[in-house]
Amino acid sequence: MRHKKAGPSGTVDAPLETKSQRTAVRDAIPSVVGGRLRTYDPAADNVGAFLRLLGERITRPLAVSLTACVHCGLCAESCHYFLARPDDPTMTPVYKADQIRRVFKRHLDWTGRVVPWWVHAGSPRSDEDLNRLKNIVFGTCSACRRCTLNCPMGVDTGLLVRFTRGLLTELGIVPEGVFNVSRDEWETGNQMAVTEEEYLETLQWMKEEVQAELDRPDVDIPVDRADCNVLYTINPREIKFDPRSIANAAKVFHVAGETWTLPKWGWDQTNFGLYSGDDKLGGYVARNVYEAAERLRAKRIVISECGHGYRSTRWEGYNWAGYDQKLPTESVVVTLMRYLQEGRIRVDPSRNPEPVTFHDSCNIARSGDLVEEPRWILGRVCADFREMHPNRRENFCCTGGGGLLSMAEYRPLRLEVAKVKAEQLRATGAKLVCTMCHNCIDGLTDVIKHYRLDMKVVQVLDLVAKALVIS
């Protein structure tokens, strides 16, 4: 087995790359000119701005998570970074959270303001310190929240990491990949800069595919149709790399007799604001979806299989956007379960004979509510379902969470710590690992390739579509 080592502690020291930022400034793109997308200015007082933002943005849940930690260290063994690198004390969640906690203590808490050395309180002194903080919160944590659920005090380290990312994003001190994806979301309304033409063409192509497959010319993939039951929102990855998942959804909706539509604008349910900590971006992208549903008078928003997309659109987005939820908003997995329960679709599990295991997406299982629903479905569409251990809310991250797939500079460390996931996958003996997250597909595919596992990644919808009995 080949293992590319990430190097000893302290080598996650990627410099701040600003080439894309400079190009965006030079081209005067609207999001930069309008001040929505922030770029790095080496001449600015970035430390001062960081401290000002810290004081302005701390909420009550953050404040108590910053003050309550007792340094018991119990979180360490819940983190796949520490489990994979037990000799590296900088990999513990508490160490990572302490990097923002020390600044909070120095500037806002009591003891740290008077006797900082007593409680390890301190302040960033330069942009290099902020870049170091960037490498810790973006590069050594996938914000999976496993430590949060294992903290006896209830300290939400995942929340602290996202908060810190948000402060750095406001200063443009972010990995280049994060900047690029954020730029695309601001500029095009979706994170892969899919054009409207490409979007519509792909949908047309998939419509023709399903019509041919089912020999039913009445199958449709409607766009911007008003008064439907379902407004279906997708991940741009489905347009770019995996359009079959849209075809599968179309097939199931057709068989179930659903009235559904995709919106022409506001179709991207993914949200890089969750990863970058930028609530403004998060609110903008989520609002696009909510307003599309309102404009088309849809009765329900259905989110295709995506972990962070589900968390963002179902839970966080309404709060970021300051938009009171008006419509039921659910994962397509819940929709599929309803169809099965109501007898609107029928399935034959013998069509999926290979051993299948299920990987719980962190954003859905730990920060959301769907744990048993995918299992309920898999129990009906697969002949041989096997649990992975640990599972459900204790599952390990695919290692591509927290936006890490877009940050090439942290890839060696990500793949090194993925050995925890690789061992978990291998132990199942399954040939297929099912997940309800597009991000996890890429994360798991990387792990499978790197650790040479004999497995393929699929989604719940893939297995349902394969098992679908069409009369």
Partner 1 sequence: MSATLKFLENEVQIAALLFMAVVYAVRLVWILRFEFRRERTFPAGSEAAGIGFSLMNVAMPWAMESTRKRPWFYLQFVIFHLGVAAAITATFIIPYKPALLETKPVALAFQTMMGAAFLVGLMRLVRRLREPALRLISTADDYLSLALMILFFAAGVLAVPNRYRTAEWTLILFFGLTAFFLVYVPFSKICHYLYYPFTRYFLGKTLGHRGALPPGKTAADRPLPEGSGTRRPR
Q: Which of residues 359-388 bind partner 1 (CB under 8 A)?
A: 365-373, 375-376
Is 195 a binder of partner 1 (CB under 8 A)?
no
Q: CA torsion 152→154→159→164, rounded to 10°? A: -70
Tell the smallest beta-carbon distance from residue 460 to partner 1 (Å): 13
The interface region with partner 1, picked from 91-99, 211-219, 438-446, 461-469 by CB under 8 A, is 91-99
CB of 346 to partner 1, least distance (A): 16
Instruction: Tell me: does residue 113 bind partner 1 (CB under 8 A).
Output: no
Q: Which helix (H) or strand (E) holds 433?
A: strand 432-435
Beta-bridge partners for 458: 434
As to burial, measured by CB atoms within 10 angstroms (0-12 exposed, 13-18 middle, 19+ buried), residue 116 is middle
Stretch that binds partner 1, among 58-66, 128-136, 215-223, 424-432 (CB under 8 A): 58-66
Task: Mention every residue, 6+ apart, whose C-beta is less than 8 A from residue 373.
Answer: 331, 333, 334, 337
Q: Does 70 bind partner 1 (CB under 8 A)?
A: yes
* 76: contact with partner 1 by CB under 8 A: yes
With the CA atoms of 60, 66, 69 and 75 taken in that order, what torsion angle do they form, in degrees rounded to the nearest 10? 100
Site string for partner 1, 249-288 (x = CB under 8 A): ----------------------------------------
CB of 141 to partner 1, least distance (A): 15
Contacts of 17 (CB under 8 A, 6+ apart): 175, 176, 409
**Cα 451 → chain centroid:** 23
> Is 241 among the residues that bind partner 1 (CB under 8 A)?
no
Minimum gap (Å) between residue 120 Cβ and partner 1? 5
DSSP state string for 382-417? -SEEE--SS-GGGPPP-S-TTTGGG-GGGHHHHHHH
Position 393 contacts partner 1 (CB under 8 A): yes
- Positions in 304-343 near partner 1 (CB under 8 A): 314-315, 318-319, 322-325, 328-331, 334-335, 337-338, 341-342
Considering the complex, what minimum distance in angstroms separates the CB of residue 142 from partner 1?
17
Q: Considering the complex, what minimum distance in angstroms separates the CB of residue 335 from partner 1?
A: 7
* DSSP per-residue letters across 137-179: HHHS-----HHHHT-TT---HHHHHHHHHHHHHHTT-S-HHHH
Identify residues 149-178 at the interface with partner 1 (CB under 8 A). 149-156
